[in-house]
Amino acid sequence: MSTIMIIIGFIFIIGLVIGSFLNVVILRTVSGESIVFPGSKCPRCQNSLKWYHNIPLLSYIFLKGKCAYCKEHISIQYPIVEFMTGCIFSGLFIKFCIPFDPLFGIYEFTAISISQFICYVFSLIASCLFIIIAGTDFIEMKVADKHTYSLICTGILFGTVCACISRDWHVILYSLEALILGFAIMEGIRRLTSFALKVETFGEGDAYIAGGIGAYLGALLSNSTSFGNYLSIFYIMLGMFVLSTIIPAFYILPIYIKRLFNQKNWYTLGGIFAFVIYTTGYWFAQNLGWLENTSALIICTTVLILLGLLLCSELFRGIKEGEGNPMPFGPALLISAFILMVLVPMS
């Protein structure tokens, strides 16, 4: 057990270092600067930082969150991204490389198979791209093509490598199926809601994000004990969109509902409560076995997705009209994809 903890701790430290680099990529993508030159500097006083000013987490703590030269406050984004990346690196190592013994309730470290190693490496690459894309989208609603294309290529390459190892070329088709599904569904929703509401509801980059997520998840699901077929991949992609419609509600609804009450906008409030009631009914119906019929499940799930996305579009439009600050949808897609990555049982 002590050996496992040492390995996990070492991987966590590597994750902290990578997280520091991801911060650079995020901020310089937003500013349009090279990620190589110039070296690290304070964005306010422009002084070059020493190496000991860039130690992940520790430098932020010792400097008390301020620049060593001008004492300008350092964004809390830096330690958050670093710590989160460290947790992801070590957490995914536990998921993919250390099997859990259900009898004794402990983890046992054994030799890592090629399949486990491949899943772990590509999941790390995908997670880093998730963080970069979510970071740039959240800060400035800016999604770089080179990042979304890299995510798509990562997923396809992941599927190709898995196909070569397993000698099952259906794996590539799984990846391509999920890529096309993700892109087509997101782009269709964007065009439909924009036409219906007469306002741009989602960014053009969201479809590429969904496609890249699909390419990765399709390859990952081919290694799963429960989801290695075309129909289950379709369900997982639908589940991702359901999650991505729910996640934004946690940071949008508290602000927006208060405004709706003040404006006495009962129409939109009714839509919110209708979605909550339908979602609750959907959950009960699924647990009671009323949706065992495939057609009924697809129809009810599709209605749920459309209701959720239309509601989110209305929320985004309302916030845009009220404050001039539309909310990015990309981070919600990426968070839901990461949740599915963690929950998918592996073989």
Whether residue 30 is found in the same domain as residue 91: yes
- Domain with 205, as residue range(s), is 113-347
Strand blocks (E) in 129-264: none
Whether residue 172 is found in the same domain as residue 57: no
Whether residue 49 is found in the same domain as residue 194: no
The structure's pTM equals 0.78
Q: What is the pLDDT of residues 186-222, one digit of tens each?
A: 998 888 877 776 767 777 889 999 999 999 998 898 8
Is the pLDDT at 294 greater than 90? The verdict is no
pLDDT at 86: 95
The last residue of one of the domains, among 112, 146, 164, is 112
Q: How many domains does the chain have?
A: 2
The C-alpha atoms of residue 330 and residue 136 are separated, in whole angstroms, by 10
Residue 331: asked if its preceding bond is cis (omega within 30°), the reply is no
Torsion sign (Cα): 200, 204, 209, 215:
positive
Q: What is the pLDDT of residues 123-147, one digit of tens each?
A: 999 999 999 999 998 887 788 899 9
Whether residue 244 is found in the same domain as residue 131: yes
Whether residue 158 is found in the same domain as residue 78: no
The last residue of one of the domains, among 61, 93, 112, is 112
The C-alpha atoms of residue 143 and residue 126 are separated, in whole angstroms, by 15
Whether residue 177 is found in the same domain as residue 99: no
